Structure 1
Amino acid sequence: MTREVVALGSPDNRSLAGFPTWSLTTRRQLWRGHRAGNGPWWFASSGRGRFDLSEPRGTCYVAFDERTAIRETVGEVLAGSGVISHDFADERVLSRLRIPARRTLADTCTEEAANYGLTRELCTVTPYDIPQQWASALAGSCDGLRYQSRFTTGTTANAAALFDAAGVREDWAVDEAPEPFAAAARRCGFTVGSVPRTVRIVQPPS
């Protein structure tokens, strides 16, 4: 195997007993960017998310700080251009949240996790087949994953993928006054595109 090949393999036929864990408590402030018309506690099972579980279970992605939440919400576009479009930001808000009860997360950022065959590729590799297999395997004993998000740098874990029944959790507390995404992004130092100007179309002379 060369270093150009992804080293991270499937967790199949691998014992994950004793995998290191981390406690996410109700005191921990969490952040999530989402569409203004949708609730923040959405557990996805579409397969479009890195750690999506298959129905009837799903995964909700939250960040431990505002900047990570913003970067993860915008993703590739922000990484490529450095600018958040006005139209994208105008449809979204940034919620601050807390979970209703303590959750035990598989800690993918500890040195001990490597003993189970895990590598940093878990949070960077595409497509998402292998990360989803790891999520499914760890969901048998944990309530989610603690990880380091793809669109940020740094040395510490900054995000969590929470496991629960697929769909929206309407009984979990939400932010009653989420911040407009554009305002939150600018406050955190990101560039947000300006409001598009009206364009007057002049008909050519006949």
Structure 2
Amino acid sequence: MSAREQVAQGGPPASLQGFPTRALRRDTALYRAHRADRGPWWFGSDGSGRFDLPAPRGTCYAALDPASALRERVGPVLAAARAVPESLLEDVVVSRLAVPDDREVADLQSRAAGDHGVTRELETMVPYAVPQAWARALDGAGHQGVRYGPRFTPGDCSAVALFEEAGEQDWPVDPAPQPATQVPGGPAVVSTPRRSDLTVVRPPRTRVPRG
């Protein structure tokens, strides 16, 4: 394996002074795919997300368009199969949201972030140890989140990881979230067949030899 085939992205520097930021206004539409029986403003701290902060802090992930929000939720399945089963989305909705107050988030998509050691690997690399180290450093430096390129959505799109106290936040929610299967530009869906559509083939009878 050559040096160029190895992950090059390192951890955050000792100082993040001057790191590029992006304003996230209260009128900026955010989109989050989530289970219909759960609220959208959940700030996780269990380490399962790219930029998760450890408790008592937490991180909530959203995208700047609904299709990207949905693709990020089902990304591992979609990347392997090019389509997702309808059953995977039947309890999922996409909420249109907005932060309650203007925020300043670290901008990983800015070229100036490269001056602080950021590469695009930070947005896609696994496991998450290095991105989470960056999240802790950026949170400690006073940034209120991270703007980055979503891993499973190519093209001109962005996602944000918001930093806040861990757990569910009582922020305004979408009164009428959209069913995931109706999101324009979302992933292709494979319908779950109904029992009436299936043909049951009985195995051939076999003779049991006597004696």
Q: Shift in Å at residue 200 of structure 1? A: 7.7
CA distance in 1, matches of 2:135, 2:58: 10
Cα deviations across residues 16-40 of structure 1 (Å, max 9, x unaligned)?
Answer: 1111111100110111100111100
Q: Matches of residues 48-87 of structure 1 in structure 2 within 5 Å?
A: 48-87=48-87
SS in 2 for 1:70: helix
For 1:128, the equivalent position in structure 2 comes to: 128
Q: Shift in Å at residue 9 of structure 1? A: 0.9
For 2:6, the equivalent position in structure 1 comes to: 5
Q: Shift in Å at residue 157 of structure 1? A: 5.2
For 2:144, the equivalent position in structure 1 comes to: 143
Q: Shift in Å at residue 111 of structure 1? A: 1.0
Q: Matches of residues 1-206 of structure 1 in structure 2 within 5 Å?
A: 2-11=3-12, 14-140=14-140, 141-154=142-155, 156=156, 158-169=158-169, 171-184=170-183, 187-188=184-185, 190-198=187-195
Q: Shift in Å at residue 14 of structure 1? A: 2.4
For structure 2, the 5+ residue unaligned runs are 207-211
Whichever residue aligns with residue 40 of structure 1, its letter is P
Change (3 A) 1:157 1:193: closer
Q: Shift in Å at residue 70 of structure 1? A: 1.4
Whichever residue aligns with residue 60 of structure 1, its letter is C
CA contact (8 A) 1:109 1:157 kept: no
Whichever residue aligns with residue 179 of structure 2, its letter is P
Whichever residue aligns with residue 125 of structure 1, its letter is M
CA distance in 2, matches of 1:18, 1:151: 29
CA distance in 1, matches of 2:154, 2:18: 28
Aligned residues: percent identity?
Answer: 48
CA contact (8 A) 2:33 2:180 kept: yes
Runs of 4+ in 1 over 3 A off after TM superposition: 199-206
Cα RMSD over matched residues?
1.8
Cα deviations across residues 61-112 of structure 1 (Å, max 9, x unaligned)?
Answer: 0000112111101111112211121111101001111110011100111111
Change (3 A) 1:60 1:51: same
Figure out how many residues of one structure are paired with residues of the other and give that number: 201
SS in 2 for 1:139: helix
Whichever residue aligns with residue 6 of structure 1, its letter is V
